[in-house]
Structure 1
Amino acid sequence: MENVSVAVTDNATLLPGGGVDARAPYGGKTLFAAVLVGTFLGIITLGTIIGNVLVCLAAVVNRRLRNITNYFVVSLAVADLLVGVLVLPFSTIFEVTRYWNFGLIMCNLWVSLDVLCCTASILNLFAISLDRYYAITRPFTYSNKMCRQKAFMAIAVVWIVSLLVSFLPIWVGWNTQDGRLQNVDDPTQCSFNNTNVPYIMIVAFGTYYIPLIIMCVTYFRIFLIAKEQANRINALQPEVRDANRRQNQNLANEHKATRTLAAVLGAFIICWTPYFTVFTITPLCGCTIPEQLYSVVLWLGYINSLLNPCVYAFMNKEFRRAFKKLLCFQTGNTVCFCGNPRNWAQDEPTTSTAPRQP
């Protein structure tokens, strides 16, 4: 998401509202700096696209990844993929040149998509946290009551709410102080106008801070319950523990899945909290921040879309295994089936006593 409360601190010419004079090449950057920035941001964009395509494909072709929780994971990956395909290419061009050359409609469409993907990411994480809480606190009823249809309904609600929060206010003008459509005065600049304080507070707290607090409390409760369950299992007599081996393995898998998704939440907090802090404070104080600092907090948020696939690859062996197959990494006796993912079934265990973790 973009913000207009930015002050330029380099050699470019400052325009009213914090924009940069289009006559200043590369927004006041040297050619070397522009190439360096463009290359770095291009790598982030490409990595975001490749990583999230891998997540989506892994869940499609690997049977062991087809479970309720991973439906939400794929929905989150789709939001991150949309960031990489529809948002970051334009963000990279604008970051390098500080000149918008795609027209007013495309500008507001780009901003709307940016807000849409960010909101969808937050709400998908929120849905994942509730799913994990239910799976850990009620493990015996979770598999019976949480079906695929309910998961799809929850995902549909996530995207509908995200669409309403993003497109409707921007195209109606609710986010601007005077109620006008944003970015109509200067066609060379494109940003998210956050001058309407009531709107900003509703969006910031309704779609970020409040869900974030609930998610943190939820995961804290999950880990307390998981620790309690582990202690209870360890206190059992060996023969009782062996008799309940399958049930205990199920709980262990759920705990591993929860740790992975808690790491995803942690990455999201680290990446997006600086931006939302700036997003909330600037309209309240009427102040500006240096352009370079704003670019850092904005792109730190974008980098979150790149980090999620890395977290799955690092912390989850099933995703890691699927990624290796998709990328045709052949190790040891592993058979590479790049040409026909259907053959993967030949390399998978025929039986599994534990639920498939994300």
Structure 2
Amino acid sequence: MAANATDFSCLDSTALKVTVSVVLTVLILITIAGNVVVCLAVGLNRRLRSLTNCFIVSLAVTDLLLGLLVLPFSAFYQLSCRWSFGKVFCDIYTSLDVMLCTASILNLFMISLDRYCAVTDPLRYPVLITPLRVAVSLVLIWVISITLSFLSIHLGWNSRNETSMVTHTVPKCKVQVNLVYGLVDGLVTFYLPLLVMCITYYRIFKIARDQAKRIHHVSSWKAATVREHKATVTLAAVMGAFIICWFPYFTVFVYRGLRGDDAINEVFEAIVLWLGYANSALNPILYAALNRDFRMAYQQLFRCRPAGHAAHEMSLRSNSSQLSRNQSREPRRQEEKPLKLQVWSGAEVTVPRGTTDRVWGVSPYRPWRGSQGKNRGRGGGKPFTASKVKESKCDPPGVA
């Protein structure tokens, strides 16, 4: 939400003011650069182009817009101790702030639902989460965010019968919060989605833990689910950072609606505000720290690695789970399926699995050839069993 002019930003200490300026500038730069990298990583790597990452990109775009359109003005406002851009732009500025915060919450809410479907019902996941539904969800996220922010503020639903730019000794720009707006906005845009996300991730954790116990000795299913569980841990960490960063501010926000806009110390209000802004800088770091695919994508960008090389490495990891599943089924197939070997005369020998070494010790994976070194094909002679081979008077031909 919008920033306030505070005594914290108006201190006479030059050293403290420079320190605050450096901290806020670094935070803004990290927010912009980090979320640009997230968008580039998803755009340049096919491995990351999943339906889940559509919501992550939407979240990154939200944080990027916050870093470009809101944070610079908030920092200038904190340091200059006055709003210098007029009432009209104050309304636009506060509306953008509310819109982007709401969009972040709704994106995290949709991410939690996506992870819940992927982990709890993976077989029906492609049916439940389709590209069309994801597109509709993204459109609804931004429509709802725009409606709750611009519509509420410009129609004065949040007003206490005062203008949004209050002039005492210096002009200020802050979101006004009355009783109804504070309760409704706090519950609808933060506390209720937060409750649903906590329940969702708790159920995901329980299901993932139960599955890990049941499939501990089954490598095929374990390889198939490890990717989903890692993604769940990553996204849960993102949500946890969101709670730590934004819960103090929304508590203050609701308290302002109950007790009045001046009920909170402005220094404390500025601190919890920028703590919430810091969440936009943390999300790209969390992706890199907890998600291997994002780490490799970042390495590709920063080390200028060829896109094909990185995609090849990621495809190898993707195919490893399928290979392990195939290998787990291969011994059973080999035990059930007999071997057919071509002998010198052109006939076939049908040998059950496990008896090949007892019949001349010939490798079951290489065809026999004639004395001329030419393959005689399968056309001549009737297949016969291993017992007939032992009765044959022919010497075993050489193995090609």
Q: TM-score higher than 0.5 here?
A: yes
2:123 match: secondary structure: helix
Q: Secondary structure at the match of 2:315?
A: coil
Contact 2:83 2:172 in 1 (8 A): yes
Q: Which string of whole-angstrom CA distances, capped at 9 and with x for unpartnered residues, describes residues 288-309 of structure 1? A: 2222211110000000000011
- Give the whole-Å Cα distance in 1 for the aligned partners of 2:285 and 2:55: 17
| Separation in structure 2 between the aligned mates of residue 255 and residue 205 of structure 1, nearest angstrom | 30
Aligned length: 319
The CA RMSD measured in Å over matched residues stands at: 2.2
Counterparts in 2 of 1:259-274, with a 5 A limit? 259-274=233-248
Q: Post-superposition shift, 1:99? A: 1.3
Quote the offset at 1:152 in angstroms: 1.4
Counterpart amino acid of residue 315 in structure 2: P
Partner-residue secondary structure (3-state), 1:2 = coil
- The Cα of 1:321 is off from its aligned counterpart by 1.1
Distance 1:184 1:292, change over 3 A: closer
Deviation by residue 1:178-235 (Cα, 9 ceiling, x = unmatched): 2x652265683211111x211111100011001101100110011001111111112x
Unmatched runs of 5 consecutive residues or more in structure 2: 323-400
Match of 2:120 among 119, 132, 137: 137
Alignment of 1:297 with 2:275, yes or no, is: no
Q: In structure 2, what residue type is equivalent to 1:298?
A: L
Tell me the TM-score normalized by structure 2.
0.75
Task: State the Cα distance separating 1:3 from its structure 2 match.
Answer: 6.5
Q: Is the 8 A contact 2:241 2:282 kept in 1?
A: yes
Q: Work out which of the residue numbers 207, 219, 244 in structure 1 matches 2:201.
A: 219
Which stretches in structure 1 are left out of the alignment for 5+ residues? 11-25, 329-334
Specify the alignment match of 1:332 in structure 2.
Answer: none
1:102 is matched by which residue type in structure 2? F
Counterpart of 2:201, as a letter, is Y
Is contact 1:170–1:181 with CA below 8 Å preserved after alignment? no
Task: Choose from 90, 99, 102 the match for 1:116.
Answer: 99
Q: 1:10-46: per-residue Cα shift (whole Å, max 9, x none)?
A: 7xxxxxxxxxxxxxxx634333322221111000000
Is 1:314 aligned to 2:289, yes or no? yes
**Which residue identity is paired with 1:169?**
S
Aligned equivalent of 2:305: 336
| Contact map agreement 2:296 2:310 (CA 8 A) in 1 | no
Q: Which runs of 4+ in 1 moved over 6 A?
A: none
Name the counterpart of 1:22. Answer: none
Q: What pairs up with 1:38-117 in 2 under 5 angstroms?
A: 38-117=21-100
Shift of 1:102: 1.4
The answer on 1:199 being equivalent to 2:165 is no
Equivalences for residues 270-285 of structure 1 within 5 A: 270-285=244-259
Counterpart in 1 of 2:2? 2
Asked if the contact 1:61/1:342 (under 8 Å) is kept, the reply is no
Give the CA deviation at 1:144.
3.6
What CA distance in whole angstroms lies between the structure 1 residues aligned with 2:17 and 2:308?
45
Query: For residue 318 of structure 2, what is the aligned residue in structure 1?
Result: 352
Any conservation in 1 of the 2:3–2:74 contact (CA below 8 Å)?
no
In the TM superposition, what whole-angstrom CA distance separates every residue of 1:70-109 from its partner, at most 9, and x where no partner exists?
1111111111111111111001100111111112121111
Q: 1:127 matched to which residue of 2?
A: 110
Whole-Å separation in 2 of the counterparts to 1:34 and 1:263: 33
SS at match of 1:289: coil
Q: Distance in 2 between matches of 1:284 and 1:144?
A: 45
CA distance in 2, matches of 1:342, 1:94: 46
Q: Which whole-Å CA distance do the structure 1 matches of 2:271 and 2:222 have between them?
A: 45
Of residues 213, 221, 230, the one that matches 1:231 is: 213
TM-score, normalising length: structure 1: 0.83
User: Is the contact between residue 27 and residue 99 of structure 1 (CA under 8 Å) also seen in structure 2?
Assistant: no
The whole-number CA distance in structure 1 between the counterparts of 2:281 and 2:37 is 12
Following superposition, the deviation at residue 346 of structure 1 comes to 5.8
AA aligned to 1:299 is W
The structure with higher relative contact order (CA 8 Å, sep 6+) is: 1
8 Å contact kept, 2:3–2:78: no
Cα distance between partner residues in 2 of 1:62 and 1:275: 36
CA contact (8 A) 2:47 2:311 kept: no
Matching residue's letter, 2:305: C
In structure 2, C-alpha distance between the alignment counterparts of 1:9 and 1:95, rounded to whole Å: 9
